[in-house]
Amino acid sequence: MLTAKDIMTPDVATISGSATVAEAVNIMKEKGLRALIVDRRNESDPYGMVTETDIVYKVAAHGKDPKKMRVYEIMTKPCIVVRPDLGVEYVARLFANARIRRAPVIESELLGIISVSDLLKRGNFTEAPKQLYLEDRIEAARDDARTVCEAKGATSPECAAAWDIVEELQATASHQRSK
Protein backbone atom coordinates (compact mmCIF):
# COMPACT_ATOMS: atom_id res chain seq x y z
CA MET A 1 0.00 0.00 0.00
CA LEU A 2 1.27 3.42 -0.96
CA THR A 3 1.67 5.61 2.14
CA ALA A 4 1.93 9.31 2.91
CA LYS A 5 5.74 9.28 3.06
CA ASP A 6 5.93 7.82 -0.48
CA ILE A 7 4.17 10.78 -2.09
CA MET A 8 4.72 13.69 0.32
CA THR A 9 6.90 16.70 -0.47
CA PRO A 10 9.93 16.47 1.84
CA ASP A 11 11.02 20.09 1.27
CA VAL A 12 9.17 22.12 3.85
CA ALA A 13 9.77 25.69 4.88
CA THR A 14 8.95 26.83 8.38
CA ILE A 15 8.23 30.27 9.73
CA SER A 16 7.78 31.72 13.17
CA GLY A 17 4.32 32.68 14.40
CA SER A 18 5.58 36.16 15.19
CA ALA A 19 6.85 36.83 11.63
CA THR A 20 4.86 39.26 9.49
CA VAL A 21 2.56 38.09 6.73
CA ALA A 22 4.73 40.03 4.25
CA GLU A 23 7.70 37.85 5.26
CA ALA A 24 5.58 34.73 4.75
CA VAL A 25 4.54 35.92 1.27
CA ASN A 26 8.20 36.50 0.36
CA ILE A 27 9.25 33.01 1.41
CA MET A 28 6.30 31.47 -0.45
CA LYS A 29 7.09 33.42 -3.63
CA GLU A 30 10.81 32.69 -3.44
CA LYS A 31 10.45 28.96 -2.85
CA GLY A 32 7.29 28.45 -4.90
CA LEU A 33 5.33 27.10 -1.92
CA ARG A 34 1.62 27.26 -1.15
CA ALA A 35 1.94 26.79 2.58
CA LEU A 36 4.45 27.20 5.41
CA ILE A 37 4.64 25.24 8.63
CA VAL A 38 4.64 27.38 11.76
CA ASP A 39 7.50 26.49 14.12
CA ARG A 40 6.68 25.03 17.50
CA ARG A 41 7.71 27.17 20.46
CA ASN A 42 8.86 24.08 22.36
CA GLU A 43 8.60 20.29 22.18
CA SER A 44 5.10 20.17 23.65
CA ASP A 45 3.70 22.93 21.43
CA PRO A 46 1.54 21.78 18.49
CA TYR A 47 2.41 22.39 14.85
CA GLY A 48 0.67 25.15 12.92
CA MET A 49 0.27 26.01 9.25
CA VAL A 50 -0.34 29.12 7.19
CA THR A 51 -1.53 28.79 3.58
CA GLU A 52 -2.09 30.96 0.50
CA THR A 53 -5.80 30.74 1.25
CA ASP A 54 -5.34 32.15 4.78
CA ILE A 55 -3.42 35.11 3.37
CA VAL A 56 -5.84 35.89 0.54
CA TYR A 57 -9.03 35.35 2.60
CA LYS A 58 -7.90 37.10 5.79
CA VAL A 59 -5.44 39.77 4.61
CA ALA A 60 -5.74 40.62 0.89
CA ALA A 61 -9.55 40.40 0.88
CA HIS A 62 -9.75 43.03 3.61
CA GLY A 63 -7.04 45.32 2.32
CA LYS A 64 -5.03 44.81 5.50
CA ASP A 65 -1.33 45.62 5.38
CA PRO A 66 0.70 42.36 5.26
CA LYS A 67 3.66 44.20 6.77
CA LYS A 68 1.62 44.95 9.87
CA MET A 69 -0.10 41.60 10.31
CA ARG A 70 1.55 38.65 11.98
CA VAL A 71 1.40 34.99 11.03
CA TYR A 72 -0.15 34.02 14.39
CA GLU A 73 -3.20 36.17 13.60
CA ILE A 74 -4.15 34.10 10.56
CA MET A 75 -2.53 30.65 11.03
CA THR A 76 -4.25 27.35 11.80
CA LYS A 77 -2.73 25.95 15.00
CA PRO A 78 -3.09 23.21 16.07
CA CYS A 79 -3.46 21.80 12.57
CA ILE A 80 -4.40 18.30 11.45
CA VAL A 81 -1.26 16.22 10.95
CA VAL A 82 -0.66 12.96 9.09
CA ARG A 83 1.56 10.06 10.08
CA PRO A 84 4.09 8.95 7.43
CA ASP A 85 2.76 5.37 7.28
CA LEU A 86 -0.90 6.29 6.72
CA GLY A 87 -2.20 4.80 3.45
CA VAL A 88 -2.87 7.35 0.70
CA GLU A 89 -6.54 6.27 0.48
CA TYR A 90 -6.93 7.12 4.15
CA VAL A 91 -5.20 10.46 3.60
CA ALA A 92 -7.73 11.24 0.84
CA ARG A 93 -10.66 10.23 3.06
CA LEU A 94 -9.30 12.28 5.99
CA PHE A 95 -8.89 15.34 3.75
CA ALA A 96 -12.44 14.97 2.37
CA ASN A 97 -14.01 14.53 5.82
CA ALA A 98 -12.06 17.38 7.41
CA ARG A 99 -12.36 19.62 4.31
CA ILE A 100 -8.60 20.21 4.24
CA ARG A 101 -6.21 20.19 1.29
CA ARG A 102 -2.83 19.97 2.92
CA ALA A 103 -1.23 18.71 6.15
CA PRO A 104 2.24 18.33 7.62
CA VAL A 105 3.60 14.78 7.83
CA ILE A 106 4.92 14.19 11.34
CA GLU A 107 6.45 11.41 13.36
CA SER A 108 8.35 12.82 16.34
CA GLU A 109 9.53 15.55 13.99
CA LEU A 110 8.42 17.31 10.82
CA LEU A 111 9.16 15.07 7.80
CA GLY A 112 7.29 16.75 4.97
CA ILE A 113 3.97 18.08 3.75
CA ILE A 114 1.24 16.32 1.78
CA SER A 115 -1.43 17.97 -0.35
CA VAL A 116 -4.30 17.12 -2.71
CA SER A 117 -1.83 17.78 -5.56
CA ASP A 118 0.53 15.10 -4.26
CA LEU A 119 -2.38 12.65 -3.97
CA LEU A 120 -3.48 13.37 -7.52
CA LYS A 121 -0.06 13.52 -9.18
CA ARG A 122 1.86 10.85 -7.27
CA GLY A 123 -0.92 8.65 -5.91
CA ASN A 124 -1.87 5.44 -7.73
CA PHE A 125 -5.63 5.69 -7.44
CA THR A 126 -6.21 5.85 -11.21
CA GLU A 127 -4.29 2.62 -11.84
CA ALA A 128 -5.35 0.88 -8.64
CA PRO A 129 -8.45 2.39 -7.05
CA LYS A 130 -8.75 1.00 -3.57
CA GLN A 131 -11.94 0.71 -1.54
CA LEU A 132 -11.60 1.31 2.18
CA TYR A 133 -13.16 -0.78 4.94
CA LEU A 134 -13.45 -3.89 2.69
CA GLU A 135 -12.91 -6.28 5.61
CA ASP A 136 -15.75 -4.60 7.50
CA ARG A 137 -18.02 -4.90 4.48
CA ILE A 138 -17.15 -8.59 4.02
CA GLU A 139 -18.06 -9.26 7.65
CA ALA A 140 -21.34 -7.39 7.32
CA ALA A 141 -22.21 -9.24 4.09
CA ARG A 142 -21.49 -12.56 5.79
CA ASP A 143 -23.86 -11.65 8.65
CA ASP A 144 -26.53 -10.71 6.12
CA ALA A 145 -26.10 -13.98 4.20
CA ARG A 146 -26.47 -16.08 7.36
CA THR A 147 -29.66 -14.23 8.33
CA VAL A 148 -31.16 -14.61 4.84
CA CYS A 149 -30.30 -18.31 4.61
CA GLU A 150 -31.81 -18.99 8.00
CA ALA A 151 -35.04 -17.23 7.06
CA LYS A 152 -35.44 -18.44 3.48
CA GLY A 153 -33.70 -21.82 3.65
CA ALA A 154 -30.21 -22.92 2.69
CA THR A 155 -31.22 -23.92 -0.86
CA SER A 156 -33.24 -20.76 -1.65
CA PRO A 157 -32.12 -18.42 -4.49
CA GLU A 158 -32.02 -15.53 -1.96
CA CYS A 159 -29.45 -17.45 0.11
CA ALA A 160 -27.27 -18.15 -2.94
CA ALA A 161 -27.44 -14.50 -4.03
CA ALA A 162 -26.41 -13.31 -0.54
CA TRP A 163 -23.30 -15.54 -0.59
CA ASP A 164 -22.47 -14.32 -4.11
CA ILE A 165 -22.15 -10.81 -2.66
CA VAL A 166 -19.72 -12.09 -0.03
CA GLU A 167 -17.64 -13.86 -2.67
CA GLU A 168 -17.54 -10.78 -4.87
CA LEU A 169 -16.23 -8.64 -2.01
CA GLN A 170 -13.63 -11.27 -1.14
CA ALA A 171 -12.47 -11.32 -4.76
CA THR A 172 -12.14 -7.52 -4.75
CA ALA A 173 -10.15 -7.71 -1.51
CA SER A 174 -7.69 -10.29 -2.80
CA HIS A 175 -7.36 -8.32 -6.06
CA GLN A 176 -6.51 -5.17 -4.05
CA ARG A 177 -4.01 -7.03 -1.88
CA SER A 178 -2.14 -8.29 -4.92
CA LYS A 179 -1.44 -4.71 -6.11
Partner 1 sequence: MMRAEEIMVRDVVTIGGSATVAEAVALMKDKGLRSLIVDRRSDIDPYGIVTETDIVYKVAAYGKDPKKVRIFEIMTKPCIVVNPDLGVEYVARLFANTKTRRAPVIKDKLVGIISISDILRKSDFVEKPKSIIEAYADEFSSYIGARMYDD
Task: Candidates 42, 61, 108, 136: give the one binding partner 1 (CB under 8 A).
Answer: 61
Q: Is the previous residue joined to 66 through a cis bond, with omega within 30 degrees of 0?
A: no
Number of C-alpha atoms within 13 angstroms, CB side, residue 17?
16
CB contact at 8 A, 8 and 111: yes
Residues 6+ apart with CB under 8 A from 34: 28, 51, 52, 102, 115
Task: Candidates 13, 80, 81, 92: give the one binding partner 1 (CB under 8 A).
Answer: 92
- Applying CB under 8 A, the span of 2-10, 42-50, 128-136, 157-165 interacting with partner 1 comes to 128-136
Task: Candidates 3, 15, 89, 159: give the one binding partner 1 (CB under 8 A).
Answer: 89
The interface with partner 1 within residues 3-22 (CB under 8 A) comprises: 22
The residue ranges that bind partner 1 (CB under 8 A) are 22, 25, 28-29, 34, 52-53, 55-67, 88-89, 92-93, 95-97, 101, 116-117, 119-121, 123, 125-126, 129-132
